[in-house]
Structure formats: structure tokens, C-alpha cells
Amino acid sequence: MKLTEAEVLLMHHLWQLDKAFMKDLLDAYPDPKPAPTTVATLLKRMINKGFVAYREYGNSREYYPLVKKEAYFSNQMAGLITDFFDDSAGQFASYFAASANLSTSELEDLKNIIDQQLQKKKP
């Protein structure tokens, strides 16, 4: 399941904080801050989607992520590759390398990362 852009921004704050009360989440936003009702609505939707849960302490709720940032990112990248690159990581890499306007140094860094992964896969 996907998050909206506003939900992703809120999740980034929650991932950074690890757990947070509403005040903590509001404080994490730059000015102009969203209304508390907006954040509450986003949290409710994210709870319903299974991304966030909470613990109650009296009248307060402490929110925490149920999905790790790396897992969400990995899932979104897999979907992107499936939807736009015919399920081919090679097509994605080719498009990225050609279209991202990377410097020679950045391309070398990518090559080194790929070489390291290849070494790990060798028996």
C-alpha cells in the first residue's frame, strides 16, 4: 500500500523520532506548521493503512511506525521498477545512469557499489 506525499513527510518525521506524541510531530515540521487536525487526520489514515500504531497514556497517544523506512523504500523502488521499467532492474539502472546527469565521480561510485555487490554474490 502506498502513502500520499503528506503521509510520507509525516512518516519521515516519525522514522526520525522513532516514537512521538502529537506535539513532537508538530514540532518536527518547519514553519508554517500544519494544523493539529491535519496531522491527526494523516495519523488516522496511516493507522488504518497499517503503517503507524500508538500507545495511550491517559489522554495522550504516543505514535510509532510499524513499517521500517528501508522496507517502505525497498517496496516503493520495486514497484517503480515493475511499473515503469518492465520489471527490469537493468533498464532502471540504465535509465538512471543516463538521465540523472551524474558526474564521472558519481558514476565511479556507483560502479564500485555494483562491484562490491558482485563480490558478495560470488561463491
Give, for 46, the enclosing helix (H) or strand (E).
helix 36-48
Rounded to an integer, the average pLDDT of 82-96 is: 85
Query: Does residue 62 sit in helix, strand or coil?
Result: strand
What is the residue-wise DSSP string for 97-122? HHHS---HHHHHHHHHHHHHHHHHH-
| Res 80: pLDDT | 85
- Specify whether the CB–CB gap between 21 and 62 falls below 8 A: yes
Mean pLDDT taken over the chain: 92
| Res 95: pLDDT | 84
Q: To 5 degrees, how large is the angle CA 17–CA 8–CA 84? A: 140
- This prediction's pTM: 0.75
Query: Has residue 1 got a pLDDT over 80?
Result: no
| Res 75: pLDDT | 87
| Fold annotation for 5-65 | Arc Repressor Mutant, subunit A (1.10.10)
98 band by pLDDT with thresholds 50, 70 and 90: confident
Tell me how crowded residue 93 is: count the other CB atoms within 10 A of its CB.
14
Q: Cα(29)–Cα(9) distance, rounded to whole angstroms?
A: 9
CA distances from 63 to 16, 23, 50 (A): 12, 11, 12
pLDDT in tens, 35-78: 999 999 999 999 999 999 999 999 999 999 999 999 999 888 88
pLDDT in tens, 19-28: 999 999 999 9
- Specify whether the CB–CB gap between 39 and 25 falls below 8 A: yes
Nearest alpha-carbon partner for 26 in 39, 7, 42, 12: 39
